[in-house]
């Protein structure tokens, strides 16, 4: 068991090193940062001093190792665009993205699971088939299209929900939350729905597939033979056995949701990490791009590793199945 | 593309007695796949819609009322006209015009052509890379296998949309400015294909490791058939069934990724807009009441992707031996 956990952790560390290498390559690929930062008044000596202070005159390997060392301590340097510390910039935006992702995840579970059960137990009836077809459309709609359509209907035509910004926020220490004010909650509604729609359809289809399989199993037949009421079989016996993969997928997808939030954030002008990243991309603000890539991948890899280990703790058969 | 019924490829070794073989078309008509297709209404509708959209997009130069690449044809007198069925609508602008006087119908036709072309090209590129990597990794095993698959693992541990954004932003920067307009499509194809090949490689590798041990491969090896030939003409046809489903669904995904990148402003430039670029341009006017500049490109994009996904869903069920 210990060997398995160590192997998993080692794997995760290797992936993170590779991601850091990619992030480091971005620096090399984007050309000379001094030329981007410098203004017209700077002399060649000034530029050279700046180059030295940024450590750009060292060897490739030294620069990479220093990058990894700094990144591990959370130091991603200063933004090319406004000279502020990158980690501070991202920390400012972190709560906005996490609140959006959290609410979207809760929404997708609360809506997706009942819909999945419904389409499974009412299979063949017209409303279940209609829902199933709608779910294909839900998977096909890109999230920016969902956002635009929501804005068009609820903000432009009906005028009942704000289309951009985060509303009023309250500072709780280093965390700023929009959940405590009415305008903050109102601003969260459309972005959260738009981000969760894809997730809702995924969970719905997963629950449906799992339910249909479980309902065919022996213990369900036995429960039916014992005369347990139908709804009780469906919601107590069968649903319980479907939840494990649903929880796994939800946990693993939080990382993907944070990444996809950048599209939702752009549509709704939501001041989160994703918008920071897109602005950094258009300005070629490399330190911010690299830091975002590393942080998102870190969350992604951590979640996957934790889920893997948790699975192995619960189900011993998996310990030997994976190398 | 090989014939849709991959099982037949195995049976097509020359028989001892020359028998008149039915034509490809006749074999297709008799296949299970064709039967399942003609008995599945959503799949048939989706195929018809897709065919229509693709035909319209590729005949854009002949049927579009306006050549959207030619700035001389745009006139600001015609700007912000609503669709034809509204009071101020004018012929020949069936779906209205944008703020530059660009005919929306023409822009959508040309835009769909770009979107579909980028989708097809990136699927072909990732298929080529993925099939090669999967075959080589599965057939030879060992270090080649380890290196290729670890590399794929690392790519998969970063969200694909991030890879696409980073690659296209950096590659666009690396291009000389006068090539950026022309090279944009190629950069997008590369950015999308870069993370797309891993899935094919994994599917093919898994199947290849199974096929490698079978008698027909051993027989070919004893006959000193070159490894490349064994991989391509003996093993590959037996791995194609899951690949076809993945490729169909990934075609839709590629069109979506391209649209997303263009929407974020790091895809096709406004001078040769794809559907995503049109949506981005239209989105700026969402609150000024000219809804048609954003709604029609959105609908076209959804139409394409929904019909591709319906087809992919049907194909997955039709080819799944468990559901037969």
pLDDT classification of B323: cutoffs 50, 70, 90? low
Whether A137 sits inside 8 A of B295 (CB atoms) is: no
pLDDT recorded at residue B38: 78
Whether A145 sits inside 8 A of B264 (CB atoms) is: no
CA–CA gap between residue A110 and residue B179 (Å, rounded): 49
pLDDT recorded at residue B3: 46
pLDDT digits (tens, 9 = 90+) for A219-250: 888 888 888 888 888 877 788 777 878 888 88
pLDDT classification of B128: cutoffs 50, 70, 90? very high
Domain annotation covers residue B2 = no
Q: Does residue B259 sit at the A interface (CB-CB below 8 Å)?
A: yes
The helices-and-strands tally (H runs, E runs) of chain A is 14, 2
Q: Indicate the pTM of the whole model.
A: 0.81
Q: How many CA atoms lie within 13 A of A277 on its CB side?
A: 30
Whether A30 sits inside 8 A of B42 (CB atoms) is: no
Which residue range(s) make up the domain with B245? 39-65+79-323
pLDDT recorded at residue B86: 64
Pairwise pLDDT comparison (A288 vs B77), residue with the higher score: A288
pLDDT classification of A131: cutoffs 50, 70, 90? confident
A259 interaction partners in chain B (CB closer than 8 Å): 159, 161-162
For chain B, what is the mean pLDDT? Answer: 80
pLDDT digits (tens, 9 = 90+) for B222-262: 888 888 888 888 888 888 888 888 888 889 889 988 998 88
Average pLDDT on B16-26 reads 68
B286 interaction partners in chain A (CB closer than 8 Å): 148, 151-152, 156, 163
CA–CA gap between residue A134 and residue B306 (Å, rounded): 10
Q: Does residue B169 sit at the A interface (CB-CB below 8 Å)?
A: yes
pLDDT classification of B2: cutoffs 50, 70, 90? very low
pLDDT classification of A63: cutoffs 50, 70, 90? confident
pLDDT classification of B266: cutoffs 50, 70, 90? confident
CA–CA gap between residue B292 and residue B304 (Å, rounded): 18
For an interface test with A, give the residue of B45, B115, B147, B154 to mutate (most A CBs within 10 A): B154
B309 interaction partners in chain A (CB closer than 8 Å): 136, 139-140
Q: Which helix (H) or strand (E) holds B162?
A: helix B160-174
Cβ atoms of residues B76 and B100 within 8 Å: yes
Share of chain A above pLDDT 70, in %: 91
CA–CA gap between residue A128 and residue B123 (Å, rounded): 33
pLDDT classification of B6: cutoffs 50, 70, 90? very low
Cβ atoms of residues A284 and A30 within 8 Å: yes
Average pLDDT on B22-41 reads 76
pLDDT classification of B71: cutoffs 50, 70, 90? low
B306 interaction partners in chain A (CB closer than 8 Å): 136-137, 140
Q: Given a cut of 80, is residue B14 above it in pLDDT?
A: no
Domain annotation covers residue B18 = no
- Residues whose CB falls within 8 Å of the CB of residue B63, separated by 6 or more in sequence, listed in order: B56, B109
ipTM for the predicted complex comes to 0.79
Domain annotation covers residue B146 = yes
The C-alpha of B155 sits at a distance from chain A's nearest C-alpha, in angstroms, of 9
The C-alpha of B174 sits at a distance from chain A's nearest C-alpha, in angstroms, of 7
Q: Given a cut of 60, is residue A312 above it in pLDDT?
A: yes
Q: Given a cut of 50, is residue B10 above it in pLDDT?
A: no
Closest-CA residue of A relative to B172 is A30
Q: Does residue B299 sit at the A interface (CB-CB below 8 Å)?
A: no
Domain annotation covers residue B199 = yes
Domain annotation covers residue B317 = yes
- Residues whose CB falls within 8 Å of the CB of residue A36, separated by 6 or more in sequence, listed in order: A80, A284
Average pLDDT on A127-137 reads 81
| Nearest CB neighbour to B309, from listed A29, A139, A300 | A139
Q: Does residue B147 sit at the A interface (CB-CB below 8 Å)?
A: no
Q: Does residue A300 sit at the B interface (CB-CB below 8 Å)?
A: yes
pLDDT classification of A322: cutoffs 50, 70, 90? very low
Q: Which of A128, A308, A297, A289 lies closest to A205 in space, CA to CA?
A: A128
CA–CA gap between residue A276 and residue A265 (Å, rounded): 9
Average pLDDT on A289-311 reads 85
pLDDT classification of B129: cutoffs 50, 70, 90? very high
pLDDT digits (tens, 9 = 90+) for B160-205: 888 888 888 888 777 777 777 778 888 889 888 888 888 889 888 8
Domain annotation covers residue B263 = yes
pLDDT recorded at residue A126: 84
pLDDT recorded at residue B173: 75
pLDDT recorded at residue B8: 47
* Domain of residue B195, CATH code: 1.10.3720.10
Q: Does residue A133 sit at the B interface (CB-CB below 8 Å)?
A: yes
pLDDT recorded at residue B322: 60
| Cα A139-A144-A148 angle, rounded to 5 deg | 110
Torsion of CA A195, A198, A200, A203, to 10 degrees: -130
Q: Given a cut of 60, is residue B216 above it in pLDDT?
A: yes
Q: Given a cut of 90, is residue B126 above it in pLDDT?
A: yes
Q: Given a cut of 70, is residue B91 above it in pLDDT?
A: no
| Nearest CB neighbour to A156, from listed B169, B252, B286 | B286
Q: Does residue B263 sit at the A interface (CB-CB below 8 Å)?
A: yes
Domain annotation covers residue B21 = no
- Residues whose CB falls within 8 Å of the CB of residue A18, separated by 6 or more in sequence, listed in order: B154
Q: Given a cut of 70, is residue B72 above it in pLDDT?
A: no
Domain annotation covers residue B5 = no
Q: Does residue A68 sit at the B interface (CB-CB below 8 Å)?
A: no
Q: Does residue A137 sit at the B interface (CB-CB below 8 Å)?
A: yes
Cβ atoms of residues A144 and B280 within 8 Å: no
Token couple for A46 = 């000034």
Whether B158 sits inside 8 A of A296 (CB atoms) is: yes
Cβ atoms of residues A121 and A209 within 8 Å: no
Q: Does residue A26 sit at the B interface (CB-CB below 8 Å)?
A: yes
Pairwise pLDDT comparison (B1 vs A291), residue with the higher score: A291
Cβ atoms of residues B284 and B145 within 8 Å: no
pLDDT recorded at residue B95: 67
Count of structural domains within chain B: 1
| Nearest CB neighbour to B266, from listed A136, A156, A281 | A281
pLDDT recorded at residue A23: 83
Pairwise pLDDT comparison (B5 vs A54), residue with the higher score: A54
Q: Which helix (H) or strand (E) holds B17?
A: none
For an interface test with A, give the residue of B50, B165, B277 to mutate (most A CBs within 10 A): B165
The C-alpha of B85 sits at a distance from chain A's nearest C-alpha, in angstroms, of 20
pLDDT classification of B215: cutoffs 50, 70, 90? confident
Q: Does residue B166 sit at the A interface (CB-CB below 8 Å)?
A: yes
Cβ atoms of residues A166 and A184 within 8 Å: yes
Q: Which helix (H) or strand (E) holds A176?
A: strand A175-177
């Amino acid at each position: 068991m210990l060997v398995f956990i160590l192997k998993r952790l080692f794997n995760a560390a290797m992936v993170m090193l590779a991601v850091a290498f990619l992030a480091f390559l971005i620096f090399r690929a984007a050309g000379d940062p001094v030329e981007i930062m410098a203004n017209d008044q700077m002399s060649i000596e000034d530029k050279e001093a700046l180059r030295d202070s940024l450590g750009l005159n060292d060897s490739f390997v030294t620069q990479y190792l220093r990058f990894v060392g700094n990144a591990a301590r959370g130091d991603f340097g200063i933004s090319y665009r406004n000279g502020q510390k990158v980690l501070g910039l991202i920390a400012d935006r972190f709560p906005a993205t996490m609140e959006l992702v959290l609410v979207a995840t809760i929404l997708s579970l609360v809506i997706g699971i009942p819909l999945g059960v419904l389409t499974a137990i009412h299979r063949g009836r017209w409303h279940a088939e209609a829902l199933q077809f709608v779910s294909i459309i839900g998977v096909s709609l890109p999230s920016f299209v969902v956002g635009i359509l929501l804005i068009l209907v609820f903000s432009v035509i009906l005028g009942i929900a704000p289309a951009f910004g985060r509303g009023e926020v309250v500072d709780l220490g280093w965390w700023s939350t929009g959940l405590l004010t009415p305008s903050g909650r109102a601003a969260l509604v459309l972005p959260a729905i738009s981000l969760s729609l894809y997730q809702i359809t995924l969970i719905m289809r997963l629950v449906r597939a799992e339910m249909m399989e479980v309902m065919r199993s022996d213990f369900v037949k036995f429960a039916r033979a014992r005369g347990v009421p139908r709804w009780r079989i469906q919601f107590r016996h069968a649903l319980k056995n479907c939840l494990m993969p649903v929880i796994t997928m939800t946990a693993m997808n939080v990382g993907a949701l944070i990444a996809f939030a950048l599209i939702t954030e752009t549509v709704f002008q939501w001041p989160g990490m994703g918008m920071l990243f897109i602005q950094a991309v258009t300005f070629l603000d490399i330190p911010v791009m690299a830091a975002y890539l590393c942080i998102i991948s870190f969350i992604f890899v951590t979640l996957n590793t934790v889920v893997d280990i948790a699975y192995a703790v619960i189900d011993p058969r998996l310990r030997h199945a994976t190398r | 593309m090989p014939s849709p019924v991959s099982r037949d490829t195995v049976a097509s070794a020359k028989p001892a007695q020359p028998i008149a073989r039915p034509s490809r078309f006749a074999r297709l008509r008799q296949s299970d796949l064709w039967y399942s297709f003609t008995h599945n209404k959503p799949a048939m509708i989706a195929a018809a819609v897709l065919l229509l959209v693709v035909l319209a997009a590729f005949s854009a130069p002949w049927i579009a009322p306006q050549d959207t690449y030619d700035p001389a044809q745009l006139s600001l007198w015609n700007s912000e006209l609503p669709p034809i069925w509204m009071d101020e609508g004018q012929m020949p602008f069936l779906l209205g015009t944008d703020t530059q006087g660009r005919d929306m119908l023409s822009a959508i036709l040309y835009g769909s052509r770009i979107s579909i072309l980028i989708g097809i090209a990136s699927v072909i590129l990732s298929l080529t890379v993925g099939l090669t990597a999967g075959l080589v990794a599965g057939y030879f095993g060992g270090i080649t296998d380890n290196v290729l698959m670890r590399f794929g693992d690392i790519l998969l541990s970063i969200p694909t949309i991030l890879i696409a954004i980073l690659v296209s932003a950096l590659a666009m920067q690396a291009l000389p400015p006068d090539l950026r307009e022309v090279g944009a499509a190629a950069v997008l194809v590369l950015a999308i294909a870069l993370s797309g090949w891993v899935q094919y490689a994994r599917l093919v590798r898994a199947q290849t490791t199974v096929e490698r041990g079978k008698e027909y491969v051993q027989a070919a090896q004893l006959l000193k058939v070159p490894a490349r030939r064994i991989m391509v003409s003996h093993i590959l046809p037996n791995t194609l069934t899951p690949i076809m489903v993945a490729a169909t669904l990934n075609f839709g995904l590629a069109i979506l990724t391209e649209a997303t990148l263009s929407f974020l402003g790091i895809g096709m430039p406004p001078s040769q807009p794809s559907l995503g670029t049109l949506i981005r341009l239209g989105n700026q006017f969402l609150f000024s009441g000219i809804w048609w500049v954003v709604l029609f490109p959105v609908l076209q994009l959804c139409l394409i992707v929904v019909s591709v996904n319906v087809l992919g869903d049907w194909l997955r069920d039709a080819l799944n031996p468990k559901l037969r």
